[in-house]
Amino acid sequence: MESRGDMTTVRSQQVFLPGSTVGMVGGGQLGRMFAMAASTMGYDVVVFCDTPDDPAAQVAHRHVIGPLGDHDTIDRFAEQCDVISLEFENIPAETIARCSRFAPTYPAASVLATAQDRVREKTTFQSAGLPVTPFAHVSDRESLLDAAERIGWPLVLKTARSGYDGKGQHKLESADQADDVPWHECDHWVAEKFISFEKEVSVVVARSPNGETQCFPVFENEHANHILDVTTLPASLTAAVSEQAIRVATSAAEALDVIGLLCVEFFVSGDRVMINEVAPRPHNSAHLTIEACETSQFEQHVRAICNLPLGSTSMKCPAAAMANLLGDCWGDEGQTPNWDRLLEKKGVRLHLYGKRMPKPARKMGHLTVTGSDRDQVRQLALSARESL
């Protein structure tokens, strides 16, 4: 099938108005909520995914099923689209590069290639003068010990590629634990100085092809077993630290040349922020923008990749909180949770992702609470989840 050159470059300044067809690579919950937002705005959405029962395929206008690396399937998907995006960063960069031969594709394959490699990502930010955790590239036990001499113990050893939600990560207190690392599984690691931080926060920044940027307020995040558990808005930070996080996130998006959304996760220590990780896509921590902000992260992503004016990110309420609903809520026997108990609580909104098989640690949905006090909405989010 004949393509039309690199359309990301050729048509980067074109505006795609409602009525255009937007392509989404990936069929998970982020693609689902993106498709819902795009449809509301009047776009047709075609999803490239694994099965017709994937969360995004359930709500899209059309879907293309097949391996994400198969050229014929990529072409069949991409030729239907006016503009293309993605919902998770572990898609082969070659797939996104091939998509861009048919339609502008954001983020670009070059952004994806950087975001898929922690060493390359951190080096890019370090070269741009942005604050990152001290790190070193590691390939084996000997290089780990060398790195530890420079950055010190304890440290966190992460696979440079493919890790998420704590997978492929090892906290090492001393050289005695170096032999416990499964070196045979990987030869491309990043060793990071273990940071004693006060809190974790994230900033989602939108950037359009014409260079316009817009940040959402800073989100405060709590994790359990390396998976995001609760997000509260606004974050309990000083104005100066919030402004610093927003400034660094904007600079990170510019350094990567991201079009669309970029989530930057930070460690906060005193009056400083340090970049932990980034994701060039909508992010779990910003799901509460659906209820809490003038523009949701998903509508903002549509606006950004279509080169429309970016929407207001102002809050519609004084405070909001989100709690993830994992497969654990279904219990050991997979019984249906007591949704009625949750929904009887004033101010609670339920989002389920259409996943048929609940599994422990699998993200099945989330709930959002809005109100006038950040501590109260956080507590209500926790109690609502407990009622299940």
Q: What is the CATH number of the domain that holds 175?
A: 3.30.1490.20
Q: 211 and 170 in one domain?
A: no
Q: Which contacts qualify for 251-255: CB closer than 8 Å, 24 or more apart?
A: 251/128, 251/130, 252/125, 252/128, 252/130, 252/205, 252/278, 253/205, 253/207, 253/213, 254/207, 254/213, 255/124, 255/125, 255/128, 255/130
pLDDT of residue 1: 42
Q: 351 - beta bridge partners?
A: 366
Domain for residue 114, yes or no?
Answer: no
Question: Among candidates 336, 295, 321, which has minimal Cα distance to 378?
Answer: 321
User: pLDDT means per 10 residues in the chain (388 residues)?
Assistant: 49 85 98 98 97 97 96 98 95 95 96 93 96 93 92 92 69 90 88 92 97 97 95 98 98 97 96 95 98 98 98 98 96 88 93 95 97 97 95
Q: φ and ψ at 143, to 5 degrees?
A: -70, -30
Containing 31, the helix (H) or strand (E) segment is helix 29-40
Residues 80 and 141 in one domain: no
- 153, 222: one domain: no
125 within domain boundaries: no
Answer yes or no: do 217 and 359 share one domain: yes
* Domain total of the chain: 3
CATH of the domain at 91: 3.40.50.20
Q: What is the CATH number of the domain that holds 356?
A: 3.30.470.20
333 and 186 within one domain? no
**Residues 6 or more apart from 41 whose CB is under 8 A from it?**
18, 299, 302
CA 359 to chain centre: 21
Q: Are 46 and 65 in contact (CB under 8 A)?
A: no
Q: Quote the domain boundaries for residue 304.
A: 199-386
In a domain, 86, yes or no: yes
Report if residue 129 sits inside a domain.
no
Give domain status of residue 118, yes or no.
no
Q: Which pLDDT score is estimated for 184?
A: 83
Residue 220 falls inside a structural domain:
yes
Shared domain check, 288 and 251: yes
